[in-house]
Amino acid sequence: MGLSKDVIYDRICQLIEPFNKKSVPLTPQTTFANDLDFDSLTVMDLVAAIEDEFDIVLPLNMLPDLETIQQVTDAVEKIIKG
């Protein structure tokens, strides 16, 4: 796919926006639980959107470690690049 980290980050932010009910400013350090107040169902909806967007599968055992937008960006980049 050859996407840069910046492109991946921007796309993930675009995918988060519809779920961002509190209009929290999105930064690489923004957390899903504390800053965005996402519950587990919202997180799973976001994961599905990310998987569809990038045509990947985020392993379930990886999800608990993905607390910030940057961590998700890094994980997506790692999966894409294999």
Residue type, 82: G
The rounded percent of the chain whose pLDDT value lies above 70 is 99
Other residues' Cβ atoms within 10 Å of the Cβ of residue 62: 15
| pLDDT at position 2 | 78
pLDDT in tens, 10-41: 999 999 999 999 999 999 999 999 999 999 99
How does the average pLDDT of the chain come out, rounded?
A: 95
Split at pLDDT 50, 70, 90, the class of 74 is: very high
Burial category of 9 from C-beta neighbours within 10 Å (exposed 0-12, middle 13-18, buried 19 and up): buried
Its pTM stands at: 0.93
